Amino acid sequence: MAEHVRGGNSVATTLTASPHDRFRVKWVPNAMPHDFEVLARAILSGASDAIIAADRDGVITLWNPGAERIFGHPADEAVGQSLDIIIPERLRPAHWRGFSEVMETGQSRYGTGDLLSVPSVRRDGERISIEFTIVPLKDPEGRMTGMVATLRDVTARFEELKTLRRRLAALEPS
């Protein structure tokens, strides 16, 4: 949903996924030479964070270089597979329960900005810790078509925190 608004002394363009969204993307076309496709391409081709989209059935439809780096699956192998390839077996029932519910209702229990922290598994079997946010994908009529997630590898920080907690517990009088 794009609209042009006058703010201050420049005309800006704002964009939201739906008219009810609280936060908006806002940019000044003349001050920014890039069009949306250039921006989208730059963000999606980054190798820092993983960006993964899935369709209504949880089949992977988008896998960016960050996902390849963090999870070890090349995009050619990951696209078309189930999200299960990154979800440890014991967490799959909870994930799919939540996923199906969001697909049916369009409502997530997680608000904008809420982080999900979960363990994950790489292609080589190594366990990692990730934090991620999810955004629903909807068609122009507002029907759910899938989800897109931005995921970050936080293993180093998580391990450091565990070590600090262990040390603190050892210092506390029993």
Q: For residues 114 and 160, which CB has a smaller minimum distance to ligand HEM in the complex? A: 114
Q: Phi/psi at 46 (nearest 5 deg)?
A: -65, 150
70 binds ligand HEM (CB under 6 A): no
Position 100 contacts ligand HEM (CB under 6 A) = no
Q: Considering the complex, state which of residue 66 and residue 149 has its C-beta at the smaller distance from ligand HEM.
A: 149
Q: Residue 169 CB, nearest distance to ligand HEM (Å)?
A: 26
Q: Who's near 95: CB < 8 A, 6+ residues apart?
A: 83, 87
Residue 134 binds ligand HEM (CB under 6 A)? yes
E runs forming strands in 56-143: 60-63, 116-121, 127-138
Question: Which residues are CB-contacts of 125 (< 8 A; sequence separation ≥ 6)?
Answer: none
Q: Choose the binding region for ligand HEM from 11-19, 28-36, 95-103, 157-165 (rule: CB under 6 A).
A: 95-103
> Tokens standing for 121?
């598994």
Q: What minimum distance in Å lies between the beta carbon of 144 and ligand HEM?
A: 10
Using the rule CB under 6 A, which residue among 110, 159, 160, 164 binds ligand HEM?
110
- Is residue 100 within 8 Å of 83, Cβ to Cβ? no
6 lies in the binding site for ligand HEM (CB under 6 A): no
C-alpha to C-alpha distance for 21 and 38, rounded to whole angstroms: 24
How many CB atoms lie under 10 A from the CB of residue 47?
12
CB of 35 to ligand HEM, least distance (A): 26
Q: Where on the chain is the footprint of ligand HEM (CB under 6 A)?
A: 52, 54, 83, 86-87, 91, 94-95, 98-99, 102, 108-110, 118, 120, 130, 134, 147, 149
